[in-house]
Each structure stands twice: as structure tokens, then as C-alpha cells.
Amino acid sequence: MKILALNSSPRTGNRSRTELLLAHLVQGMREAGAEVEEVELRKKSVRDCIGCFTCWTKTPGVCIHKDDMTRELFPKWKEADLVVYASPLYHYTINASMKAFIERTLPALQPFFKERDGKTYHPARYRHPKVVVLSVAGFPELSVFDQLSSWANFVFGRSGALVAEIYRPMAESMTTPFLKEKAEEVLQATVQAGREIVETMRVSGETKSRITKPLMEDPRPFFEIGNLMWNTCIAEGVTPAELAERQRVPPPA
């Protein structure tokens, strides 16, 4: 199985929880025998779709833009058996980089109107790869992903392309030392999800429950610590990353 794992996080290293979760998912996929290529979209040039429909008329199946999407990424997307869309949760859905990528897959469709079960669609020009959607959020409630899940199921679920959704709330706390053991359980469950996707094209309910398991029974201490951190950043005029680099502890006031 050929898998294209796309990471649209603007962060990297230990500051990116998207990268953290995706790395463990990919580990499981590779352990199950899949060939996985990881791509960081922040390093690629993917211009916005301009709605010209050149890819539907003048050059069917080929975008007018000559960037990394046309030259490199779209061919890899077409060849993949499965694509992982990994994005941090921005305004309750995927971020702009991932949205731009997905919109640029328009050449995979033909312009004609078709109808199935009372719903209109454009027929596929190329075989659409199977899809896994992965996202992380800072809020502790799993319901924070409801809008993303609804969108993913509408766009990819109707055609049967969507095989799994992997969501991790309260992800910012996964690198906190006193939550290390619980975070490791989540990450090992994510590895298992990668294996299951390759072997069965689904993620079991048990594995999903382990991935989304609350890190804290009562999130109020998390809120208090977070608010202390933000107040310190505001008072000192620094970003969270700069605060971490200084290894400062938020003052109690």
C-alpha cells in the first residue's frame, strides 16, 4: 500500500502536536507493511485555486499553476492508495494550507453534472485515494471536532473514500511531564490505529476510545495553568514558544 501523509502544521518538532500524532500513526502504518511518504506542506509552494476551470476545459486534468502541487504533489496524490490529511484544528476545521491543497485536487474531477440518490456530484476523472483525517486541538472536549467531522464526512464520506478519523483533544498538554504516562497511552493507540488502517481499512472502536481518552478527569486545573501562561506571555510581551525557550514558570499573581 502506498500512503501519502500530508502535514499542514506551520509548527515543527516538539511544538507541533499534529506532527507528534502523525509520526506515531505513520509508525504503525509502516509496521504493517505500508510504504509511507510524509510531506510537510509548509515547505511546499501550493498556490490557491483561482476558479478558472482551465483544468476542466483547456488542459483537462492539469492545473494552470506551475508550482509544487502541479509538478510534485498532485501526481503523488493520484498514485497513492491512501492519503492522510493531518491538520491542526483552526476555527473548528482544517487550516488554510490543507484547504488549499484539497481545493487544488479539483483536476481529479470532471465538470459534468451527475445525480445519485437525489444528490448532485461531479464524476471522477481519476481514482480517488482513500482518506484518513487527523487533527489535534487545545480544547479538552471531543465535540470540538464536530464541525470538522461533519465536513470530512460530507466531502469524503459520501463517495466511500473516508476510512478513518483520528482526533485528539487537549493535545497541547500531551508533552506535559506529569501527563507523560497517559500521553504515551494515546500515542501507542495511534500507532495501533496506523496498523489497523493498513490491515483492515478502519480503526476499531476500542482504539478510537484509547486515542480520545481524557488526559484529566477535571479540566479546570488545565484551564488555570493555561490562563496563568497566557497572562505571563501578555505581561512580558512574549509568545508561548519564547516563554518556553526562557524556561520561565508563570508567576502565581
Counted domains in the chain: 2
Set of cell numbers at residue 187: 500515542
Domain CATH code at residue 74: 3.40.50.360
Do 135 and 84 contact (CB within 8 A), yes or no?
A: no
Q: Name the residue range of residue 142's domain.
A: 2-216
| 235 and 209 share one domain | no
Q: Are residue 177 and residue 230 in the same domain, yes or no? A: no
Strands (E), 51-187: 82-88, 114-116, 119-121, 130-136, 162-168
Together in a domain, 142 and 189: yes
Q: Are residues 153 and 238 in the same domain?
A: no
- Between CA 239 and CA 236 the distance in angstroms is 9
The Cα–Cα gap between 211 and 188 comes to: 8
Same domain, 203 and 234: no
Check whether residue 223 and residue 168 sit in a common domain. no
Dump pLDDT digits (tens) for 108-153: 999 999 999 999 999 999 999 999 999 999 999 999 999 999 999 9
Cα–Cα distances in angstroms (integers) from residue 206 to residues 44, 54, 143, 146, 212, in the given order = 36, 46, 18, 20, 10
Buried b (16+ CB within 10 A) or exposed e, 40-74: bbeebebeebeeeeebbeeeeeebebeebbbeebb
Are residues 242 and 163 part of one domain? Answer: no
Q: What does each of the 253 residues of the chain score in pLDDT, given as a tens digit? A: 999 999 999 999 888 999 999 999 999 999 999 999 999 999 999 999 999 999 999 999 999 999 999 999 999 999 999 999 999 999 999 999 999 999 999 999 999 999 999 999 999 999 999 999 999 999 999 999 999 999 999 999 989 999 999 999 999 999 988 899 999 999 999 999 999 999 999 999 999 999 999 999 999 988 998 899 899 999 889 998 888 888 777 666 6
As a whole number of Å, the end-to-end CA separation of the chain is: 55
User: What φ, ψ does residue 10 adopt, rounded to 5°?
Assistant: -75, -10
- Backbone phi, then psi, for 157, in 5-degree steps? -75, -35
175 in the same domain as 236: no
